Structure 1
Amino acid sequence: MNLRPRYLETLADGSWLARIVPMSGTNRATTEPLTVRVIDYTVDDGRDNPDEYRLLTTILDPAEAGAEDLAAAYARRWEIETTFDELKTHQRGPRAVLRSKAPDLVQQEIWGHLCCHYAIRTLMADTAAHTGQDPDRVSFVKALRIARRSVAQSAFPPPGADTADAIWSHAIRWLTQHLNPPRRKRSHPRVVKRKVLKWAAKSSHHTHWPQPEHTPHTTIHIH
Protein backbone atom coordinates (compact mmCIF):
# COMPACT_ATOMS: atom_id res chain seq x y z
CA MET A 1 0.00 0.00 0.00
CA ASN A 2 1.37 3.41 -1.02
CA LEU A 3 0.14 5.86 1.63
CA ARG A 4 1.76 8.98 0.09
CA PRO A 5 1.58 11.26 3.19
CA ARG A 6 0.73 14.88 2.33
CA TYR A 7 2.73 17.40 4.36
CA LEU A 8 0.86 19.66 6.80
CA GLU A 9 3.38 21.16 9.24
CA THR A 10 6.71 20.54 10.98
CA LEU A 11 6.71 20.01 14.76
CA ALA A 12 9.27 21.08 17.36
CA ASP A 13 10.98 17.68 17.67
CA GLY A 14 11.61 17.37 13.92
CA SER A 15 8.64 15.17 13.15
CA TRP A 16 5.86 16.44 10.87
CA LEU A 17 2.13 16.11 10.49
CA ALA A 18 0.62 14.70 7.33
CA ARG A 19 -2.62 13.43 5.87
CA ILE A 20 -2.90 9.89 4.53
CA VAL A 21 -5.69 7.82 3.07
CA PRO A 22 -5.45 4.39 4.76
CA MET A 23 -7.09 2.57 1.88
CA SER A 24 -6.16 1.31 -1.56
CA GLY A 25 -8.21 0.40 -4.59
CA THR A 26 -11.55 1.77 -5.69
CA ASN A 27 -12.60 2.97 -2.20
CA ARG A 28 -9.63 5.32 -1.86
CA ALA A 29 -11.48 8.35 -3.28
CA THR A 30 -14.34 8.07 -0.76
CA THR A 31 -12.22 7.30 2.33
CA GLU A 32 -11.81 10.02 4.94
CA PRO A 33 -8.16 11.16 5.26
CA LEU A 34 -6.35 10.44 8.52
CA THR A 35 -3.94 12.85 10.22
CA VAL A 36 -0.72 11.16 11.30
CA ARG A 37 2.66 12.17 12.61
CA VAL A 38 5.65 11.19 10.47
CA ILE A 39 9.07 10.52 12.00
CA ASP A 40 12.00 10.11 9.60
CA TYR A 41 15.14 8.78 11.27
CA THR A 42 18.23 6.65 10.74
CA VAL A 43 19.73 3.91 12.90
CA ASP A 44 23.53 4.08 13.00
CA ASP A 45 25.05 0.90 14.41
CA GLY A 46 28.58 1.60 13.23
CA ARG A 47 28.22 0.43 9.63
CA ASP A 48 29.07 2.53 6.59
CA ASN A 49 25.46 2.91 5.43
CA PRO A 50 22.98 3.54 8.28
CA ASP A 51 19.44 2.26 7.70
CA GLU A 52 16.73 4.84 7.07
CA TYR A 53 13.25 4.45 8.56
CA ARG A 54 9.92 6.25 8.39
CA LEU A 55 7.52 5.80 11.28
CA LEU A 56 3.86 6.85 11.14
CA THR A 57 1.92 7.25 14.37
CA THR A 58 -1.43 8.63 15.51
CA ILE A 59 0.25 10.17 18.60
CA LEU A 60 0.23 13.71 17.24
CA ASP A 61 1.49 15.66 20.28
CA PRO A 62 5.32 15.57 20.74
CA ALA A 63 4.81 16.38 24.43
CA GLU A 64 2.98 13.08 24.84
CA ALA A 65 5.75 11.05 23.15
CA GLY A 66 8.91 12.51 21.59
CA ALA A 67 10.23 11.43 18.21
CA GLU A 68 13.32 9.76 19.68
CA ASP A 69 11.23 7.89 22.26
CA LEU A 70 8.89 6.55 19.58
CA ALA A 71 11.77 5.54 17.31
CA ALA A 72 13.40 3.68 20.21
CA ALA A 73 10.10 1.98 21.10
CA TYR A 74 9.51 0.96 17.47
CA ALA A 75 12.85 -0.85 17.43
CA ARG A 76 11.54 -3.05 20.26
CA ARG A 77 8.21 -3.86 18.63
CA TRP A 78 9.24 -7.51 18.05
CA GLU A 79 9.31 -8.08 21.81
CA ILE A 80 5.54 -8.54 21.77
CA GLU A 81 6.40 -12.06 20.56
CA THR A 82 8.32 -12.57 23.80
CA THR A 83 5.19 -11.60 25.72
CA PHE A 84 3.13 -14.15 23.78
CA ASP A 85 5.74 -16.77 24.64
CA GLU A 86 5.56 -15.83 28.32
CA LEU A 87 1.78 -16.21 28.36
CA LYS A 88 1.37 -19.29 26.17
CA THR A 89 4.48 -21.37 26.86
CA HIS A 90 5.62 -20.56 30.39
CA GLN A 91 2.61 -19.25 32.31
CA ARG A 92 -0.19 -21.33 30.79
CA GLY A 93 2.05 -24.27 29.85
CA PRO A 94 3.06 -25.77 26.47
CA ARG A 95 0.21 -27.39 24.53
CA ALA A 96 -2.20 -26.57 27.36
CA VAL A 97 -5.71 -25.46 26.43
CA LEU A 98 -8.23 -23.36 28.31
CA ARG A 99 -10.39 -25.47 30.62
CA SER A 100 -13.56 -23.43 30.23
CA LYS A 101 -16.22 -24.48 27.74
CA ALA A 102 -18.71 -21.59 27.81
CA PRO A 103 -17.83 -18.29 26.07
CA ASP A 104 -18.23 -16.20 29.25
CA LEU A 105 -16.01 -18.57 31.23
CA VAL A 106 -13.38 -18.58 28.49
CA GLN A 107 -13.28 -14.79 28.62
CA GLN A 108 -13.02 -14.90 32.40
CA GLU A 109 -10.12 -17.39 32.21
CA ILE A 110 -8.28 -15.24 29.67
CA TRP A 111 -8.64 -12.21 31.93
CA GLY A 112 -7.27 -14.29 34.77
CA HIS A 113 -4.17 -15.16 32.74
CA LEU A 114 -3.69 -11.51 31.79
CA CYS A 115 -4.04 -10.30 35.40
CA CYS A 116 -1.53 -12.90 36.53
CA HIS A 117 0.90 -11.84 33.80
CA TYR A 118 0.48 -8.20 34.78
CA ALA A 119 1.25 -9.02 38.43
CA ILE A 120 4.42 -10.91 37.49
CA ARG A 121 5.52 -8.10 35.21
CA THR A 122 4.92 -5.63 38.04
CA LEU A 123 7.22 -7.69 40.25
CA MET A 124 9.85 -7.60 37.48
CA ALA A 125 9.50 -3.82 37.08
CA ASP A 126 9.88 -3.28 40.83
CA THR A 127 12.97 -5.51 40.82
CA ALA A 128 14.52 -3.51 37.99
CA ALA A 129 13.78 -0.25 39.82
CA HIS A 130 15.25 -1.65 43.05
CA THR A 131 18.50 -2.75 41.37
CA GLY A 132 18.80 0.10 38.88
CA GLN A 133 19.32 -2.49 36.12
CA ASP A 134 17.74 -2.78 32.68
CA PRO A 135 14.34 -4.54 32.98
CA ASP A 136 15.50 -6.99 30.31
CA ARG A 137 17.84 -8.51 32.89
CA VAL A 138 14.95 -9.65 35.09
CA SER A 139 13.89 -13.17 34.13
CA PHE A 140 10.18 -13.78 33.58
CA VAL A 141 10.64 -17.51 34.17
CA LYS A 142 12.30 -16.92 37.54
CA ALA A 143 9.66 -14.35 38.53
CA LEU A 144 6.93 -16.83 37.61
CA ARG A 145 8.69 -19.55 39.58
CA ILE A 146 8.96 -17.51 42.76
CA ALA A 147 5.36 -16.34 42.41
CA ARG A 148 4.21 -19.96 42.25
CA ARG A 149 6.40 -20.85 45.24
CA SER A 150 4.85 -18.03 47.27
CA VAL A 151 1.40 -19.49 46.65
CA ALA A 152 2.13 -23.22 46.79
CA GLN A 153 4.80 -23.40 49.50
CA SER A 154 4.15 -22.06 52.96
CA ALA A 155 7.91 -22.18 53.68
CA PHE A 156 8.71 -19.65 50.96
CA PRO A 157 8.59 -16.43 53.08
CA PRO A 158 11.47 -15.93 55.48
CA PRO A 159 10.72 -16.01 59.22
CA GLY A 160 8.70 -12.99 60.25
CA ALA A 161 7.54 -12.16 56.71
CA ASP A 162 3.85 -12.51 57.44
CA THR A 163 2.61 -9.57 55.35
CA ALA A 164 2.21 -9.13 51.62
CA ASP A 165 4.77 -6.30 51.57
CA ALA A 166 7.37 -8.47 53.31
CA ILE A 167 6.79 -11.36 50.89
CA TRP A 168 6.99 -8.95 47.94
CA SER A 169 10.29 -7.51 49.22
CA HIS A 170 11.70 -11.01 49.71
CA ALA A 171 10.77 -11.92 46.12
CA ILE A 172 12.53 -8.79 44.84
CA ARG A 173 15.69 -9.64 46.79
CA TRP A 174 15.64 -13.19 45.42
CA LEU A 175 15.24 -12.00 41.83
CA THR A 176 18.02 -9.46 42.34
CA GLN A 177 20.37 -12.36 43.04
CA HIS A 178 19.30 -14.21 39.88
CA LEU A 179 19.45 -11.58 37.12
CA ASN A 180 20.00 -12.48 33.49
CA PRO A 181 23.34 -11.48 31.92
CA PRO A 182 23.32 -8.22 29.90
CA ARG A 183 22.03 -8.56 26.36
CA ARG A 184 24.70 -8.78 23.71
CA LYS A 185 24.72 -6.21 20.90
CA ARG A 186 23.15 -7.55 17.72
CA SER A 187 22.39 -6.26 14.25
CA HIS A 188 20.69 -7.92 11.30
CA PRO A 189 20.37 -6.72 7.69
CA ARG A 190 17.02 -5.67 6.26
CA VAL A 191 16.74 -8.41 3.66
CA VAL A 192 14.07 -10.81 2.47
CA LYS A 193 14.65 -14.52 2.69
CA ARG A 194 14.55 -16.19 -0.73
CA LYS A 195 14.15 -19.91 -1.17
CA VAL A 196 17.11 -21.39 -3.02
CA LEU A 197 15.90 -23.31 -6.09
CA LYS A 198 17.85 -25.85 -8.09
CA TRP A 199 16.62 -24.33 -11.38
CA ALA A 200 18.47 -21.53 -13.15
CA ALA A 201 16.80 -18.14 -13.49
CA LYS A 202 14.84 -17.55 -16.70
CA SER A 203 16.67 -15.42 -19.25
CA SER A 204 16.13 -14.24 -22.84
CA HIS A 205 17.39 -17.37 -24.56
CA HIS A 206 14.73 -19.45 -22.79
CA THR A 207 11.98 -17.56 -24.64
CA HIS A 208 12.60 -19.35 -27.96
CA TRP A 209 13.41 -22.79 -26.65
CA PRO A 210 13.95 -25.41 -29.43
CA GLN A 211 10.97 -27.74 -29.72
CA PRO A 212 11.19 -31.52 -30.27
CA GLU A 213 10.52 -32.91 -33.75
CA HIS A 214 9.35 -36.38 -32.61
CA THR A 215 7.15 -37.78 -29.88
CA PRO A 216 9.27 -38.30 -26.79
CA HIS A 217 9.93 -41.88 -25.67
CA THR A 218 9.99 -42.34 -21.91
CA THR A 219 12.25 -44.96 -20.33
CA ILE A 220 11.91 -45.95 -16.72
CA HIS A 221 14.88 -47.38 -14.87
CA ILE A 222 14.24 -49.31 -11.66
CA HIS A 223 17.09 -49.03 -9.14
Structure 2
Amino acid sequence: MVQLRETQREGRTSEKKREILEAASRVFRRQGLHATGMRDIAAELDMAVGNLYYYFRDKEDLLAFIQQTTLSGLRRLAARIEGLDLPADARLWLLLAGHVALLNEETPGSLGHLEVEALGEERRGPIQEGRDAYERTFRRLIDEGVAAGVLQAPDPKVAALALLGAANWSVKWFRPDGGKSAREIGRDLADLLVRGLLAPRRAGNGFASPSLDLLTALLEPSIHPGEEP
Protein backbone atom coordinates (compact mmCIF):
# COMPACT_ATOMS: atom_id res chain seq x y z
CA MET A 1 0.00 0.00 0.00
CA VAL A 2 2.83 2.38 0.89
CA GLN A 3 4.57 1.57 -2.40
CA LEU A 4 1.33 2.17 -4.33
CA ARG A 5 0.89 5.59 -2.73
CA GLU A 6 4.51 6.43 -3.51
CA THR A 7 4.04 5.40 -7.15
CA GLN A 8 0.89 7.50 -7.41
CA ARG A 9 2.65 10.50 -5.87
CA GLU A 10 5.55 10.15 -8.31
CA GLY A 11 3.07 9.97 -11.19
CA ARG A 12 1.33 13.16 -10.06
CA THR A 13 4.69 14.92 -9.68
CA SER A 14 5.74 13.86 -13.18
CA GLU A 15 2.45 15.12 -14.64
CA LYS A 16 2.79 18.44 -12.82
CA LYS A 17 6.37 18.87 -14.02
CA ARG A 18 5.22 18.28 -17.59
CA GLU A 19 2.53 20.96 -17.13
CA ILE A 20 5.22 23.32 -15.88
CA LEU A 21 7.44 22.57 -18.88
CA GLU A 22 4.53 23.18 -21.25
CA ALA A 23 3.87 26.54 -19.60
CA ALA A 24 7.58 27.40 -19.64
CA SER A 25 7.69 26.56 -23.36
CA ARG A 26 4.87 29.00 -24.10
CA VAL A 27 6.53 31.79 -22.13
CA PHE A 28 9.97 31.08 -23.62
CA ARG A 29 8.55 31.39 -27.14
CA ARG A 30 6.62 34.53 -26.27
CA GLN A 31 9.28 36.56 -24.48
CA GLY A 32 12.55 34.67 -24.86
CA LEU A 33 14.28 32.25 -22.55
CA HIS A 34 16.68 34.69 -20.91
CA ALA A 35 13.94 37.25 -20.24
CA THR A 36 11.74 34.64 -18.56
CA GLY A 37 11.79 34.27 -14.80
CA MET A 38 10.15 31.81 -12.46
CA ARG A 39 7.42 34.34 -11.67
CA ASP A 40 6.52 34.53 -15.37
CA ILE A 41 6.13 30.75 -15.55
CA ALA A 42 4.09 30.68 -12.34
CA ALA A 43 1.82 33.41 -13.72
CA GLU A 44 1.30 31.39 -16.92
CA LEU A 45 0.12 28.49 -14.74
CA ASP A 46 -1.93 30.73 -12.45
CA MET A 47 0.18 29.21 -9.69
CA ALA A 48 1.73 30.81 -6.64
CA VAL A 49 5.46 31.15 -7.27
CA GLY A 50 6.13 29.37 -3.98
CA ASN A 51 4.34 26.30 -5.34
CA LEU A 52 6.53 26.39 -8.45
CA TYR A 53 9.62 26.32 -6.24
CA TYR A 54 8.32 23.09 -4.71
CA TYR A 55 9.00 21.39 -8.06
CA PHE A 56 12.08 23.34 -9.19
CA ARG A 57 14.48 25.13 -6.85
CA ASP A 58 15.33 27.84 -9.39
CA LYS A 59 15.53 28.50 -13.12
CA GLU A 60 18.78 26.56 -13.45
CA ASP A 61 17.09 23.55 -11.87
CA LEU A 62 14.29 23.87 -14.44
CA LEU A 63 16.77 24.16 -17.33
CA ALA A 64 18.72 21.14 -16.07
CA PHE A 65 15.50 19.11 -15.95
CA ILE A 66 14.59 20.18 -19.50
CA GLN A 67 18.01 19.18 -20.79
CA GLN A 68 18.03 15.90 -18.91
CA THR A 69 14.55 15.00 -20.17
CA THR A 70 15.30 15.98 -23.77
CA LEU A 71 18.65 14.21 -23.86
CA SER A 72 17.19 11.04 -22.35
CA GLY A 73 14.56 10.93 -25.09
CA LEU A 74 17.09 11.62 -27.83
CA ARG A 75 19.46 8.89 -26.66
CA ARG A 76 16.68 6.31 -26.39
CA LEU A 77 15.52 7.24 -29.87
CA ALA A 78 19.09 7.01 -31.22
CA ALA A 79 19.61 3.55 -29.71
CA ARG A 80 16.35 2.34 -31.24
CA ILE A 81 17.16 3.74 -34.68
CA GLU A 82 20.79 2.61 -34.73
CA GLY A 83 19.67 -0.99 -34.19
CA LEU A 84 17.27 -1.05 -37.15
CA ASP A 85 18.01 -3.29 -40.13
CA LEU A 86 18.09 -0.36 -42.57
CA PRO A 87 20.85 1.29 -44.63
CA ALA A 88 22.88 3.93 -42.83
CA ASP A 89 21.40 6.79 -44.86
CA ALA A 90 17.84 5.77 -43.92
CA ARG A 91 18.76 5.52 -40.24
CA LEU A 92 20.49 8.90 -40.39
CA TRP A 93 17.32 10.33 -41.94
CA LEU A 94 15.20 8.87 -39.13
CA LEU A 95 17.55 10.17 -36.46
CA LEU A 96 17.58 13.68 -37.88
CA ALA A 97 13.81 13.81 -38.45
CA GLY A 98 13.19 12.28 -35.03
CA HIS A 99 15.49 14.80 -33.37
CA VAL A 100 13.48 17.71 -34.79
CA ALA A 101 10.15 16.09 -33.91
CA LEU A 102 11.20 15.21 -30.38
CA LEU A 103 12.55 18.67 -29.62
CA ASN A 104 9.58 20.58 -30.99
CA GLU A 105 6.62 18.30 -30.44
CA GLU A 106 7.37 15.71 -27.79
CA THR A 107 9.42 17.63 -25.23
CA PRO A 108 7.89 20.76 -23.66
CA GLY A 109 10.31 23.58 -22.94
CA SER A 110 12.93 22.27 -25.33
CA LEU A 111 14.23 25.78 -26.08
CA GLY A 112 16.17 25.16 -22.89
CA HIS A 113 17.95 22.26 -24.61
CA LEU A 114 20.32 24.76 -26.23
CA GLU A 115 21.31 26.45 -22.98
CA VAL A 116 24.06 24.13 -21.75
CA GLU A 117 26.25 27.07 -20.77
CA ALA A 118 23.52 28.34 -18.43
CA LEU A 119 24.17 25.38 -16.12
CA GLY A 120 26.73 25.33 -13.37
CA GLU A 121 29.77 23.12 -13.86
CA GLU A 122 28.48 20.30 -11.65
CA ARG A 123 25.29 19.93 -13.67
CA ARG A 124 26.82 20.77 -17.03
CA GLY A 125 29.42 17.97 -16.95
CA PRO A 126 27.06 14.94 -17.09
CA ILE A 127 24.79 16.68 -19.59
CA GLN A 128 27.72 17.46 -21.89
CA GLU A 129 28.97 13.87 -21.65
CA GLY A 130 25.54 12.66 -22.73
CA ARG A 131 25.41 15.13 -25.60
CA ASP A 132 28.85 14.00 -26.78
CA ALA A 133 27.72 10.36 -26.71
CA TYR A 134 24.62 11.27 -28.70
CA GLU A 135 26.72 13.16 -31.27
CA ARG A 136 28.82 10.04 -31.74
CA THR A 137 25.71 8.19 -32.94
CA PHE A 138 25.49 10.63 -35.86
CA ARG A 139 29.17 10.15 -36.59
CA ARG A 140 28.89 6.36 -36.51
CA LEU A 141 26.00 6.39 -38.97
CA ILE A 142 27.87 8.75 -41.29
CA ASP A 143 31.03 6.61 -41.06
CA GLU A 144 28.98 3.51 -41.80
CA GLY A 145 27.29 5.19 -44.76
CA VAL A 146 30.63 6.33 -46.20
CA ALA A 147 32.07 2.82 -45.82
CA ALA A 148 29.02 1.36 -47.57
CA GLY A 149 29.28 3.86 -50.41
CA VAL A 150 25.87 5.47 -49.81
CA LEU A 151 27.12 8.69 -48.16
CA GLN A 152 30.00 11.06 -48.81
CA ALA A 153 31.52 13.25 -46.10
CA PRO A 154 35.19 14.33 -46.13
CA ASP A 155 34.98 14.89 -42.37
CA PRO A 156 32.20 12.91 -40.61
CA LYS A 157 32.60 14.95 -37.42
CA VAL A 158 31.97 18.22 -39.25
CA ALA A 159 29.02 16.64 -41.07
CA ALA A 160 27.55 15.40 -37.77
CA LEU A 161 27.92 18.80 -36.12
CA ALA A 162 26.32 20.51 -39.12
CA LEU A 163 23.31 18.18 -39.00
CA LEU A 164 22.93 18.62 -35.24
CA GLY A 165 23.26 22.39 -35.51
CA ALA A 166 20.49 22.60 -38.09
CA ALA A 167 18.22 20.26 -36.12
CA ASN A 168 18.81 22.02 -32.79
CA TRP A 169 18.22 25.47 -34.25
CA SER A 170 14.71 24.43 -35.30
CA VAL A 171 13.54 25.19 -31.75
CA LYS A 172 14.23 28.86 -32.48
CA TRP A 173 11.95 29.12 -35.50
CA PHE A 174 9.42 26.28 -35.32
CA ARG A 175 5.88 27.39 -34.47
CA PRO A 176 3.15 24.87 -33.58
CA ASP A 177 0.61 26.99 -35.49
CA GLY A 178 2.86 27.40 -38.54
CA GLY A 179 0.97 25.02 -40.84
CA LYS A 180 3.22 21.95 -40.52
CA SER A 181 3.74 19.62 -37.60
CA ALA A 182 7.18 19.13 -36.08
CA ARG A 183 7.30 15.66 -37.65
CA GLU A 184 6.61 17.12 -41.08
CA ILE A 185 9.29 19.76 -40.54
CA GLY A 186 11.67 17.01 -39.42
CA ARG A 187 10.88 15.05 -42.58
CA ASP A 188 11.53 18.06 -44.81
CA LEU A 189 14.77 18.98 -43.06
CA ALA A 190 16.02 15.38 -43.14
CA ASP A 191 15.19 15.13 -46.85
CA LEU A 192 17.16 18.31 -47.55
CA LEU A 193 20.22 17.51 -45.45
CA VAL A 194 20.60 13.75 -45.88
CA ARG A 195 20.13 13.98 -49.65
CA GLY A 196 22.97 16.50 -49.63
CA LEU A 197 25.26 13.81 -48.20
CA LEU A 198 24.30 11.03 -50.60
CA ALA A 199 27.11 9.53 -52.66
CA PRO A 200 26.58 9.96 -56.44
CA ARG A 201 25.81 6.26 -56.93
CA ARG A 202 23.18 6.33 -54.18
CA ALA A 203 21.68 9.59 -55.41
CA GLY A 204 21.51 8.23 -58.96
CA ASN A 205 19.75 5.05 -57.88
CA GLY A 206 17.20 7.01 -55.88
CA PHE A 207 16.81 7.39 -52.13
CA ALA A 208 13.40 6.64 -50.64
CA SER A 209 12.81 8.53 -47.41
CA PRO A 210 11.40 6.41 -44.57
CA SER A 211 7.73 6.96 -43.78
CA LEU A 212 6.33 9.26 -41.10
CA ASP A 213 4.46 6.22 -39.74
CA LEU A 214 7.78 4.53 -38.98
CA LEU A 215 9.10 7.74 -37.41
CA THR A 216 5.98 8.00 -35.24
CA ALA A 217 6.33 4.40 -34.07
CA LEU A 218 9.94 5.05 -33.10
CA LEU A 219 9.09 8.25 -31.23
CA GLU A 220 6.25 6.98 -29.07
CA PRO A 221 8.26 5.37 -26.24
CA SER A 222 10.98 8.04 -26.18
CA ILE A 223 9.75 10.52 -23.57
CA HIS A 224 10.02 9.73 -19.89
CA PRO A 225 10.51 13.02 -17.99
CA GLY A 226 13.27 13.09 -15.47
CA GLU A 227 15.22 9.98 -16.42
CA GLU A 228 18.99 10.14 -16.43
CA PRO A 229 20.57 10.98 -19.81
State TM-score, norm by structure 2: 0.27
Q: Higher relative contact order by CA 8 Å / sep ≥ 6: 1 or 2?
A: 2
- Bigger radius of gyration among the two: 1
Structure with the higher helix share, 1 or 2:
2
Structure with the higher strand share, 1 or 2:
1
State TM-score, norm by structure 1: 0.28
